[in-house]
Every structure is written in structure tokens, then in C-alpha cells.
């Protein structure tokens, strides 16, 4: 095919040929055109475009994000993007790079729409997740989209430890689903959890609430423990479902590797919730046989909170001594009353088995030393004694006055005979 070295705008014959060919319309820059490979080398690929125009792909435009342009040979059908309608040789400059990008993103959008599960290779890791290669496009697999088995349950959330944990997945292949594609933002998000949940849904369907399972603790967190059972199924035992007594840290009761029995108490989609305590009798059920309001008991202080002391009466029963029940006077510092590990005597002031609550009191053990006056400063008895003391001196004073009068009277009587004697003389 002869090469056209002139612009199509100045070549009436070429324009007539284009207009007469009903199967070919002159493309615009940015359009994707189809053609047949005439020849291919490492440096360039020539393409016949519908027998009307020759296009050429060269240099950096040979590199693409699709795999189909790797090993081209004459006769292969290809697509390319127009980057210039006519170059210095009269050929149409084309690009596999842009066409490949478009095909790659179209492929990714189709994957997301179809929800197909694909295998991807992990190429790198950072503190937020993993880099995954989908075809020639690099996507991101966030930590939150990992399956429970691969989730980095690092105590304290240390980011360096999380990164160290994630690096072990580099060069491994994982099953994922494409969940977000944005070509303009050059964003591709994949999810291992979404792919796992599809498989999990089928497996979960054979279980129901109330079923008993046997499994192994695979991870322990602040909020509970994860259990693996029945060939890679996983359930969560919340901290409140591990035991009947109050638990501050699940690690105090269970540890990784423990073999346990539990009951399924809820199923939400692919999430299974378990309970260990359901398989044990509720110790609060027959609490009245053990404790009664008014009993004096000894308890071990487990924890001090701003609102009071948590006290262990026995392995299963814990009570609360509210801060208002610790002393007659306002308590500014609980450590002045008790600290964890102390054993103290308490009085039971309330029992609510249905709510698993038991109230304790320290101040109820103390009896007042004497009856107080209204001003709460001195005993009434003492005041009465002092009143009596004041009264006695007054009575003594009256008697003394009477005695004095008598003495004066007697004195007058004694004076009279003396006067009479003087007159006789």
C-alpha cells in the first residue's frame, strides 16, 4: 500500500476514497481502532487499518498494561489508540499503551460486575495492607479486607509488628474479588474477605443456632476469642460469652491453641457467634442457696473503678461494692479503702440473680459508738450529765443561804440575854 506523505486535508483523492468506503470512518485522536498486524519487531509494529490506512506503534507506545500485545505476529488482529492522525511518513501514529490501559480497566470493571473470584500475586506490603497484581495492574488489598485467618491480630496495634506480619504474604497467591475500580483515580481495591465470604456462605448454611461445636482457639483479642472448627470455619466468642463471671481480659481465661466446646448463639450472614458459658449451668440461678441479703462475707478485691470495687466472692460470683457503700465519709481515693488483691469483709445488701448483680457494703458492717445529738458533736448523755452538775451547785447554794439565815437568827437570840443582864446591873 502506497504511503501518503501529504495531509488528508490536501489530498482530494484520499478523501474521496475514505468517503466511498462505507466500512471505514476516519477516526479521531483518542479513538480505539482495529487492524491487522503487517509486521512486528521489538522497536515497532505496523498495522493495516481496514485496507485504507497504515498505522504504526513504536517506542514507549509498545508497552501496555494488557498481556495480549506481548508476542504479535503478522496476521494478528489488534486494537490500538490513535495518538496522531498522520505523522511525517503519512502513517497514523498508534499506541498499544493507551489501548492496553483501556482494555485492562474494562477487564477490571467486568471482574467487579461479575463478582468473579480470581487468584492474585502479592507483590509488596505496607502498614495498611498488601499490593496485589491483577493482570498488569497493581491493586490494593487493605488489612480490613483480609480473611480472619490472615488478619494481623497484633496486641496493642503496633504498626511495625503489623508490617512484619503482612510481609510474610509477599510472593504468595491469594483468592480475591475486585470490589472497587476507578480509572480516573487509578484506584483498584480487592478483597480476600469478600471471596472468602462467598465460600463461607455455603458452609455456614449447614449450621443453625443451638448447634454445639468443638474447636481450637486461633486468636485472642481484648474483645473476645476466635475459634476454628469444622475444616476452616471460624466463629467469635465475645468476652461476655466466655464465662459467667466478670472478665476484664479474655487472655486470663483462654489462650491460643486451647481446645474448647461452644454453642452457636447467633449467625449473621457469614459471621458465627459462639458461647462457652451457655454449656455451663448459670451459677446465679440458685444463688439464694449460697448467699442471702444481710450475710457477712469475705471477698477478694479484683478491680477498683471510680464507682466502686469489684469483689470476687467465689469463682463464679462477683459483686460490686459501690463507692457510696465504702465509708460514711466521702471517698476521694479508693486506694485508701482497698486495692486489687486485698481480702475484706462485706455485708450483702442486695441480690438480683436475673441481672447477675450482687451489692456489697463496707459501711454497713460498722455500728455507731453512741447516740449523737442533733449537732452530731457530743452525746446527749454527756450533755445531761453536765446539766446535772450545773443544777447541784445551785441546790447547795440555797441550803447554804438557809443555814446562814438560821445562824443570824440564833445570833440575835444570843444577844438579848446579854442586854437584860446589863439592865439588872
What pLDDT does residue 138 have? 92
Confidence of residue 373 (pLDDT cuts 50, 70, 90): very low
What pLDDT does residue 345 have? 92
Confidence of residue 66 (pLDDT cuts 50, 70, 90): low
Pick the more confident residue, 101 or 129.
Answer: 129
Q: Is the pLDDT of residue 206 over 80?
A: yes
Q: Is the pLDDT of residue 129 over 80?
A: yes
- Distance separating alpha carbons of residues 120 and 134, to the nearest angstrom: 6
What pLDDT does residue 355 have? 87
Q: Is the pLDDT of residue 409 over 80?
A: no
Determine the average pLDDT of the residues in 274-281.
92
Residue 341, Cα to own-chain centre: how many angstroms? 30
Q: Is the pLDDT of residue 330 over 80?
A: yes
Determine the average pLDDT of the residues in 270-278.
92
What pLDDT does residue 14 have? 52
Confidence of residue 10 (pLDDT cuts 50, 70, 90): low
Confidence of residue 182 (pLDDT cuts 50, 70, 90): very high
- Distance separating alpha carbons of residues 308 and 286, to the nearest angstrom: 26
φ/ψ of residue 410, rounded to 5: -60, -40
Q: Out of 202-206, 363-367, 374-378, pick the least confident.
A: 374-378
Beta strand 308-312 with 259-268 is unpaired
Across the chain, mean pLDDT equals: 80
Whose CA is closest to 371, among 363, 361, 362, 383? 383
- Cβ atoms within 10 Å, residue 320: 18
The per-residue DSSP string of 335-358 comes to GGT--TT-EEEEEEEEEEGGGTEE
Q: Is the pLDDT of residue 236 over 90?
A: yes
The cell 449467625 sits on which residue?
A: 267
- Distance separating alpha carbons of residues 132 and 361, to the nearest angstrom: 61
Confidence of residue 7 (pLDDT cuts 50, 70, 90): very low
CB 226 within 8 A of CB 234: yes
What pLDDT does residue 404 have? 55
CA distances (Å), origin 348, targets 34, 86, 247, 304: 88, 96, 22, 18
What pLDDT does residue 61 have? 76
Q: Is the pLDDT of residue 2 over 80?
A: no
Q: Is the pLDDT of residue 289 over 90?
A: no
Whose CA is closest to 233, among 260, 197, 258, 261? 197
Q: Is the pLDDT of residue 106 over 70?
A: yes
Determine the average pLDDT of the residues in 396-404.
50
Q: Out of 68-77, 103-112, 160-169, 397-406, pick the least confident.
A: 397-406
Confidence of residue 407 (pLDDT cuts 50, 70, 90): low
The per-residue DSSP string of 357-422 comes to EEEEESGGGPPPSSPBPTTSSSBHHHHHHHHHHHHHHHHHHHHHHHHHHHHHHHHHHHHHHHHHHH
Q: Pick from 14-18, 39-43, 115-119 the range whose average pLDDT is largest.
A: 115-119
pLDDT > 90: what percent of the chain?
41
Residue 111, Cα to own-chain centre: how many angstroms? 31
Q: What is the pLDDT of residues 142-178, one digit of tens each?
A: 999 998 878 887 766 788 889 999 999 999 999 999 9
Amino acid at each position: 500500500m502506497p504511503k501518503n506523505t501529504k495531509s488528508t486535508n490536501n489530498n482530494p483523492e484520499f478523501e474521496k476514497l475514505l468517503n466511498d468506503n462505507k466500512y471505514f470512518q476516519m477516526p479521531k485522536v483518542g479513538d480505539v481502532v482495529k487492524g491487522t498486524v503487517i509486521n512486528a519487531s521489538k522497536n515497532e509494529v505496523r498495522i493495516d487499518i481496514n485496507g485504507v490506512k497504515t498505522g504504526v506503534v513504536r517506542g514507549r507506545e509498545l508497552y501496555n498494561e494488557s498481556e495480549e500485545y506481548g508476542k504479535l505476529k503478522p496476521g494478528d488482529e489488534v486494537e490500538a489508540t490513535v495518538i496522531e492522525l498522520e505523522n511525517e511518513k503519512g502513517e497514523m501514529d498508534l499506541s498499544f499503551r493507551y489501548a492496553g490501559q483501556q482494555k485492562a480497566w474494562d477487564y477490571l470493571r467486568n471482574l467487579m460486575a461479575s463478582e468473579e473470584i480470581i487468584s492474585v500475586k502479592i507483590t509488596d506490603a505496607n502498614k495498611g495492607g498488601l499490593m496485589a497484581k491483577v493482570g498488569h495492574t497493581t491493586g490494593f488489598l487493605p488489612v480490613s479486607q483480609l480473611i480472619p485467618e490472615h488478619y494481623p491480630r497484633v496486641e496493642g496495634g503496633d504498626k511495625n509488628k503489623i508490617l512484619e506480619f503482612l510481609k510474610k504474604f509477599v510472593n504468595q497467591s491469594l483468592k480475591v474479588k475486585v470490589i472497587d475500580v476507578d480509572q480516573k483515580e487509578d484506584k483498584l481495591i480487592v478483597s480476600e474477605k469478600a471471596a472468602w465470604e462467598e465460600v463461607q456462605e455455603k458452609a455456614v448454611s449447614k449450621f443453625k443456632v443451638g448447634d454445639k461445636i468443638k474447636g481450637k482457639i486461633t486468636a485472642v483479642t481484648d474483645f473476645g476469642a476466635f475459634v476454628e472448627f469444622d475444616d476452616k470455619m471460624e466463629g467469635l466468642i465475645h468476652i461476655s460469652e466466655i464465662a459467667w463471671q466478670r472478665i476484664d481480659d479474655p487472655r486470663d481465661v483462654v489462650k491460643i491453641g486451647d481446645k474448647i466446646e461452644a454453642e452457636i448463639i447467633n449467625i449473621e450472614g457469614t459471621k458465627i457467634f459462639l458461647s462457652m458459658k451457655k454449656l455451663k449451668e448459670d451459677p446465679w440461678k440458685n444463688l439464694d442457696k449460697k448467699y442471702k441479703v444481710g450475710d457477712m462475707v469475705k471477698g477478694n478485691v479484683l478491680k477498683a473503678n471510680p464507682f466502686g470495687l469489684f469483689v470476687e466472692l467465689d469463682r463464679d460470683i462477683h459483686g460490686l461494692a459501690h463507692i457510696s457503700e465504702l465509708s460514711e465519709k466521702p471517698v476521694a481515693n479508693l486506694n485508701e479503702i482497698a486495692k486489687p488483691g486485698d481480702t475484706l469483709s462485706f455485708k450483702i445488701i442486695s441480690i438480683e440473680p436475673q441481672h447477675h448483680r450482687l451489692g456489697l457494703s463496707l459501711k454497713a458492717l460498722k455500728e455507731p459508738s453512741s447516740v449523737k445529738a442533733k449537732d452530731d458533736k457530743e452525746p446527749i448523755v454527756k450533755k445531761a450529765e453536765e446539766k446535772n452538775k450545773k443544777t447541784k451547785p445551785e441546790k447547795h447554794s440555797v441550803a447554804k443561804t438557809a443555814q446562814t439565815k438560821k445562824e443570824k437568827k440564833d445570833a440575835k437570840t444570843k444577844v438579848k440575854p446579854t442586854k437584860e443582864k446589863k439592865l439588872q446591873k
